[in-house]
């Protein structure tokens, strides 16, 4: 089968920006059961008329303005598909001073599916996000249209010996603090802060997926992996191929490339695989009226709108000169 190719008109350098194309919104998830304070989830959402929508499920301690998410954001904005990306709690604009929680990351992902999207969704998950996507596919079989896994890291880092090797890379004082139960953050080799704590590892173990049995996945799956990945060996993907029971599961294996899959050729392949799923498994579009609640309202003449805005501005100015009270007949 020939390798899919993305639209050659894509201009990828803009995907390496450190900002989002749409305004960041925040969802209040209520009081945390695991730490002090309230939970807040930052996300960026594009409303589209085409389905399925696309959810970018972030990787390990990864922010939502990463190029792998940005390229999807630009694609959906240009082509009319709904899209959402988010910062898991404790990361980026969802950052708190408290300890991050793998359980809350899972709850964040569930919240996005249940409350911030509707209809069928393609899940695009890099690394740890692929693990989270498998959990979502099992929980929401009627909502997950398909999945794209980028260098999937399923069950990665759960072994105690790997955790001990991580501690050995730290100075003795810091490692002893972690062994005693303290949580620390430290810089990673991919430019973000990560957490080391016994509690975080214990929570991850609660979400371990049994790869020796068929997974509860009822949708098409696409996997992209690079053979030069030094973090997750590409042969792990072969186990995934066997574990996913759906017949349409494909692995796109690249000879060059690393775990991050951030080269332009990687981003083009990511979009090409998404386009492949959109083409092969089309979903009914959303009626335009349902995208905006005000779409059916008649538009006021521009001159009248300008006059109203000007009058309101004058009255606010006059109000500021009095006792701070705004009086208006409007």
CATH number of the structural domain spanning residue 46? 3.40.50.1820
Check whether residue 87 and residue 141 sit in a common domain: yes
∠ CA 75-44-41 to the nearest 5 degrees?
Answer: 145
Query: pLDDT tens digits for 245-258?
Result: 999 999 999 999 99
pLDDT of residue 4: 58
Q: How confident is the model at residue 101 (pLDDT cuts 50, 70, 90)?
A: confident
Asked if residues 299 and 278 have their Cβ atoms less than 8 Å apart, the reply is no
Token pair, residue 172, equals 């003795």
* 227 and 328, same domain (yes or no): no
Domain span at residue 48 reads 13-155+209-290
In terms of Cα–Cα distance, which of 116, 151, 310, 158 is closest to 236? 151
What's the mean pLDDT in 290-305? 44
User: Which tops the pLDDT comparison, 222 or 95?
Assistant: 222
How many whole angstroms separate alpha carbon 73 and alpha carbon 234?
Answer: 27
Same-domain status, 219 and 316: no
Instruction: State the pLDDT confidence band at 191, using cuts at 50, 70 and 90.
Output: low
The answer on 100 and 23 residing in a single domain is yes
Q: Are residues 266 and 326 in the same domain?
A: no
Tell me the CA distances in angstroms from 159 to 51, 204, 286, 322, one per residue in order. 39, 10, 45, 68
| Most confident region among 12-26, 135-149, 279-293 by mean pLDDT | 135-149
pTM of the model: 0.81
Specify whether 238 is located in the same domain as 324. no
Counting the structural domains of the chain, the total is 2
Query: Is there a domain that residue 160 lies in?
Result: no
């Amino acid at each position: 089968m020939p390798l899919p190719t993305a639209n050659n008109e894509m201009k990828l350098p803009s995907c390496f920006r450190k900002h989002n194309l749409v305004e960041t919104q925040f969802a209040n998830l209520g009081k945390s059961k695991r730490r002090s304070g309230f939970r807040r989830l930052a996300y960026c959402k594009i409303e589209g008329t085409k389905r399925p929508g696309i959810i970018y499920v972030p990787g390990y301690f990864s922010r939502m303005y990463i190029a792998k998410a940005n390229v999807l954001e630009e694609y959906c904005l240009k082509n009319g598909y709904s899209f959402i990306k988010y910062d898991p709690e404790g990361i980026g604009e969802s950052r708190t001073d408290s300890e991050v929680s793998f359980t809350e990351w899972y709850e964040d992902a569930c919240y996005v599916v249940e409350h911030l999207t509707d209809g069928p969704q393609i899940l695009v998950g890099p690394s740890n996000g692929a693990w989270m996507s498998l959990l979502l596919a099992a929980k929401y079989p009627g909502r997950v249209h398909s999945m794209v896994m980028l260098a999937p890291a399923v069950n990665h880092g759960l072994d105690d010996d790997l955790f001990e090797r991580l501690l050995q890379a730290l100075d003795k004082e810091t490692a002893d603090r972690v062994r005693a139960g303290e949580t620390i953050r430290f810089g990673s080799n991919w430019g973000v802060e990560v957490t080391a704590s016994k509690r975080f590892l214990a929570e991850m173990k609660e979400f371990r997926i049994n790869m020796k049995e068929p997974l509860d996945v009822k949708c098409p799956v696409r996997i992209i992996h690079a053979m030069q990945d030094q973090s997750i060996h590409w042969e792990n993907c072969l186990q995934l191929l066997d574990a996913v029971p759906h017949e349409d599961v494909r692995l796109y294996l690249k000879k060059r490339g690393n775990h991050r899959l951030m080269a332009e050729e990687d981003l083009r392949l990511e979009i090409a695989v998404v386009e492949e799923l959109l083409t092969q498994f089309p979903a009914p579009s959303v009626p335009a009226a349902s995208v905006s609640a005000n779409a059916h309202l008649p538009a006021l003449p521009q001159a009248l709108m300008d006059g109203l805005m000007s009058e309101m501005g004058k009255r606010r100015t006059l109000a500021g000169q009095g006792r701070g009270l705004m009086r208006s007949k409007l």
